[in-house]
Amino acid sequence: MTGETRVLLVVAGGIAAYKALELIRRLREQSIRVRCILTRSGAEFVTPLSLSALTEDKVYGELFSLTDEAEMGHIQLSRDADLMVVAPATADLIAKMATGQADDLASTALLATDKEVLIAPAMNVRMWDHPATRANIATLQERGVKLVGPYEGDMACGEFGFGRMAEPHEIVAAILTTLGRQSRAAGGAGPLGAPLAGRSALVTSGPTHEAIDPVRYIANRSSGKQGHAIARALSGLGARTTLVTGPTQLPDPTGMEVIHIESAQQMLAACETALPADIAVCAAAVADWRVASQSDRKIKKTGSDGAGAGIPKLELTPNPDILASLSQRGNDRPGLVVGFAAETEDVIRQATEKRARKACDWIVANDVSPQSGTFGGAENTVHVIDAQGVDSWARMDKSDVAQRLAERIADYFAGGLETAAPTAI
């Protein structure tokens, strides 16, 4: 393994262990050598033979191996690597890392390493939310351990929530960022290479909060799940990504710059600062209006004499149109501007008209009526509208929508798609 970038991958127990096979394959495509430690519980889900076939190397599992330990193998393993990665990182192994336990090869190597460590947690949502796990994660982060995920989604146990392990392409992006590397040359072989390497992407996500007074604000029901997933997918395909996000309950994706804002005006300013960019995806649900005059004190229901103060009259004024602003810029207009249209009726017609009005290249239309479950939900049904027409996709998980959209964007820059931005009307 001399002279190459090397990753020591710890595969712990959990159904997500199967993703380690895809992770190894993608790392090899980045010319990264992988050596594996497979825990005893991890071997219940994947075999040493499958890991060995993909890594083209021996798989290690026993702490007290007569052949390996003659040369203090658990220390040498950790020192030979440029980075240690734990995927999946179970609650049990995370607890061992936090408390310094070393009762098997994986935990011993993690304790003995002098290299950076990146973990991809995977566990039941209740285990992830447990105060003990949260405290262990905080301890590891204080020590410099990096995290990728976990994300929200369906789990093998039948529950839904945070605890789902990051996808292999997301872990690869985090590994490359940690190593200080770019993906392999732009124009790599399809989405499994790094087709967006050398490109820059700007993504907006979440709602905006438009203050009425120090206590109240105007907002919408956007969770930010779709926008965050798109940012992760673009980063996973090699794009240098900036995520501008309104207030959400989601963890920041790793491997990219994340800018937190509250209002539409702040979001526009952050987007303009992030330019130039090759790609702009405006997935945020920006509030259309704000109050014309924000109160610097809480508006009271009662007057100073205790009598009713009456219902306040709020004068609204339009917020800046971020999608139109990016689409209609001059020399620093992004090469591809993708907007979102959240509609409750006549979705395709209204989205088509919005594309022409805003002068963006593509519009991703989705039905956000109450019965659709789109706002706050895990799934989405979208229609991608461009100059050639409408491409309707079947209902799928938002992370799958994000990946498919990112791959469509990659195809566009590879010359596989044609588009033409309409003139604003």
Region 247-255: what's the mean pLDDT? 86
* pLDDT > 80? residue 78: no
CATH of 5-179, one of 3.40.50.1950, 3.40.250.10, 3.90.850.10, 3.40.50.720: 3.40.50.1950
pLDDT, tens digit (0-9, with 9 covering 90-100), for 96-118:
999 998 888 999 999 988 889 99
Mean pLDDT value of segment 84-93 = 93
Fold equal for 5-179 and 190-413: yes
Sign of torsion over alpha carbons 152, 156, 158, 163: negative
Is 358 annotated as contributing to ligand binding? Answer: yes
pLDDT surpassing 50 at residue 54: yes
pLDDT at residue 154 above 70?
no
Three-state secondary structure readout of the chain: CCCCEEEEEEECCCHHHHHHHHHHHHHHHCCEEEEEEECCCHHHCCCHHHHHHHHCCCEECCCCCHHHHCCCHHHHHHHHCCEEEEEEECHHHHHHHHHCCCCCHHHHHHHHCCCEEEEEECCCHHHHHCHHHHHHHHHHHHCCCEECCCEEEECCCCCEEEEECCCHHHHHHHHHHHHCCCCCCCCCCHHHCCCCCCCEEEEEECECCEECCCCCEECCCCCCHHHHHHHHHHHHCCCEEEEEECCCCCCCCCCCEEEECCCHHHHHHHHHHHCCCCEEEECCECCCEEECCCCCCCCCCECCCCCECCCCCCCEEECCCHHHHHHCCCCCCCCEEEEEEEECCCHHHHHHHHHHHHCCCEEEEEECCHHHCCCCCCEECEEEEECCEEEECCCEEHHHHHHHHHHHHHHHHCCCCCCCCCCCC
- Identify the top-confidence range among 45-49, 199-203, 396-400: 199-203
Residue 66, annotated as binding a ligand: no
Q: For residues 219-239, give the mean pLDDT.
A: 89
Q: What is the pLDDT of residue 313?
A: 85
Domain ranges within the chain, ordered by starting residue = 5-179, 190-413
Q: What percent of the chain stands above pLDDT 70?
A: 84
Which residues are annotated as catalytic?
A: 157
pLDDT of residue 170: 82
Of 197 and 391, more confident? 391
> What per-residue confidence (pLDDT) applies to 1?
42
Residue 247 identity = P
Asked whether residue 323 is marked as a ligand-binding residue, the answer is yes
Is 298 annotated as a binding-site member?
A: yes
pLDDT at 73: 57
Q: Residue 51 pLDDT > 70, yes or no?
A: yes
Quote the mean pLDDT of the chain: 84
CATH class of 190-413: alpha beta
Is 322 annotated as a binding-site member?
Answer: yes
Confidence of residue 131 (pLDDT cuts 50, 70, 90): very high
**C-alpha count within 13 angstroms, C-beta hemisphere, residue 327:** 26
The answer on pLDDT for 164 being more than 60 is: yes
Please report the pLDDT score of residue 95 as a whole number. 94
pLDDT at 72 over 70: no
d(CA 122, CA 344): 35
Tens-place pLDDT, residues 318-352: 999 999 999 999 889 999 999 999 887 888 999 99
**Joined tokens for residue 59:** 């798989």
Say whether 340 counts as a known binding-site residue: yes
224-233: average pLDDT: 92
Least confident range of 164-173, 284-293, 411-420: 411-420
Give CA separation, 269 vs 53, 89, 264, 274, in Å: 50, 38, 9, 9
Largest CA distance in the chain: 86
- Please state, for a pLDDT cut of 90, what percent of the chain lies above it: 47
Q: What pLDDT does residue 330 have?
A: 85
Answer yes or no: is 320 a known binding residue.
yes
- Considering only 168-182, 229-243, 254-268, 384-398, which range has the smallest mean pLDDT? 168-182
Q: Quick one: pLDDT at residue 119? A: 93
Q: Tell me the pLDDT band of 187, cut-offs 50, 70 and 90.
A: very low
